[in-house]
A and B are shown apart, each in its own frame.
Chain A
Amino acid sequence: MSREVTGIGLGLRYDLATELLERRPAAVSWLEVHPENYVNRGGRYQEMLELGRRDWPVVTHGLSTCLGAVEPFDAEYLGNLRAFLSDLEVPWHSEHLCLGGVDDRFFHDLLPLPFTDEAAQIASQRLTEVRDAIDVPLALENVSYYAEQSADGLAEADFVVEVLERADAKLLLDVNNIYVNSRNFDFDPKAYIDKIPAERVVQIHVAGHFVREDGLRIDTHGEPVPDDVYALLDYTLRKIGPVPVLLERDNNVPPLDELLSEIDELWTIYRSATGADDAG
């Protein structure tokens, strides 16, 4: 298998690792891991990562160094993260454009920043701090949000672009999050994609989401990718080009064959939209 991160990848998660690592399907071109699950941890997680790395290139996606933090980051953790990323030889690392904690307490969830100039200023500063500390290219990821934003702030896409430009940063474009937000807040997801500077996008996420009885869509990563998200991915790849795409599945993890069906669908879209004929 190629060591280059290209085509369709899958998140290495505990619930699917046994089957994935035994079967090693060729349709999966690369793996994504959350550093927080592996840093300074032995046992099954250490084994999973060692087995995964043997055949697949790995990229990392952080959960806890959220870029909207008001307080400076924990230098010790950033040092551990840097060592972890260096050992894995990742081509880039990503973190979320959101708030993950306050006053040294962690939400363990991704809470939305207000789309204000102040938040853009803080997030771009934090992004630069983290990038300098870990010494690998850092991409921010757009998140889903469920609470209405103040009318006097920026539109979400403008906020994301503002942070990207200020920090001269890369983007992990989460197509499912854009779709979820567009349905929850009634905007055109394609218009959002149109605003994204294509040259900054290094990776794409797709996932499924949960629709509550009241219609609110929650980004659970616990459902199959819906057709509308596939369609938005197709639109995105045609605009942006052959950027690696990751299928995220963190909850309600089905048998691997079900995920491989989704990966086949992603390959079909990827090839059709980009003209790529590699792997898969």
Chain B
Amino acid sequence: MLADHAKAMHRVCFGAEPSDADLQLLGSRERWLVYRDLVRNRLFHVIGVALARTKKAIGEEAFGRAVDEWLSAGGPKTRYLRHLPSELAEFAIPVWRSTEAPWVADLAGYEITSWDVRHAPPDPTPAAEFAFDTKPVLGTAVKVLRLAYPVHNKPTPEAGYEQDPTTLCVYRGKNHLAIPRKLNPLAADLIDAWQRGDQTVAESVQRVAAAHDAEIGPAFIEKLSTLIADFIDRGILLGGHGSP
């Protein structure tokens, strides 16, 4: 039966160890082990490109072990090669938190965020220009990342990173690469609020400012204007919805 054949292929390609029974069913032990290598090498390559610094930091062996364990849990759920690294990271980062240096999980999270931002869907076309009395439209390739270690600073120090909490906005720049921009906590919460998209800019500014005990006076408004102009210039903020 084709279904039995297919399940045997699945176990041979993704299982921790291919069984003799499956290899016998498929008919050619040596050649099906070739398939196992081809399938796994392709996946390993794509994931290794996305998580290059993480792989280097923990070593090829530990990295390969994480990929092996992830594959033995069933293999990729996505048809898109570009989404493979995120699937691996979802599985591996919790493991690395307990097995690797404390900054490795942050590094992997930063690399995955950068990868996802590069390959995010196309930006929407805003119906109107940015305005305080409408809900804002942000680029699709914008993510706020709160890190305990400044892993965006390259190269990775030989002794690893010292703890230094950092908040970043990672966005897709005009050259299509992911760019990190440091944020203060209030600016990060503003982007979070704008991404939720349930309030106008004015409403979200008032709510976030109140949560941070920040007075909306001339100095605040000047800084906010500078921040918004910078976000628009970088393509983080695209415009506004047509109506409030």
Provided the pairs A105-B74, A107-B39, A146-B34 are in contact, do residues A42 and B9 lie with their beta carbons within 8 angstroms?
no
Chain A CB count within 10 A is highest, among B6, B35, B77, B81, for B6
Chain A CB count within 10 A is highest, among B14, B79, B172, B176, for B79
- Could you tell me if A218 and B38 are in contact, using CB atoms closer than 8 angstroms? yes
Those of B38-79 within 8 Å (CB) of chain A: 38-39, 42-43, 74-79
Q: Does A103 contact B (CB under 8 A)?
A: yes
Q: How far is the CA of A99 from the CA of B31 in the complex (A)?
A: 16
Chain B residues with Cβ under 8 A from A23's Cβ?
A: none
- Could you tell me if A41 and B76 are in contact, using CB atoms closer than 8 angstroms? no
Chain A residues with Cβ under 8 A from B84's Cβ?
A: 108
Q: How far is the CA of A118 from the CA of B74 in the complex (A)?
A: 26
- Could you tell me if B35 and A105 are in contact, using CB atoms closer than 8 angstroms? no
| CB of B91, distance to nearest CB on chain A (Å) | 14
- Could you tell me if A122 and B2 are in contact, using CB atoms closer than 8 angstroms? yes
Q: Does B140 contact A (CB under 8 A)?
A: yes
- Could you tell me if B7 and A102 are in contact, using CB atoms closer than 8 angstroms? yes
Q: How far is the CA of A114 from the CA of B6 in the complex (A)?
A: 10
For residue B140, which residue of chain A has the nearest CB? A42
Q: Does B119 contact A (CB under 8 A)?
A: yes
- Could you tell me if A116 and B2 are in contact, using CB atoms closer than 8 angstroms? yes
Chain A residues with Cβ under 8 A from B123's Cβ?
A: 42
Interface residues of A (CB under 8 A from B): 36-37, 39-47, 63-64, 68, 70, 74, 77, 99, 101-109, 111, 113-114, 116, 118-119, 122, 146-150, 216, 218
Interface residues of B (CB under 8 A from A): 1-3, 5-7, 9-10, 13-14, 26-28, 31-32, 34-35, 38-39, 42-43, 74-82, 84, 118-123, 140-141, 172, 176
Closest 5 CB pairs of A and B: A42-B122, A64-B79, A147-B31, A44-B176, A105-B75
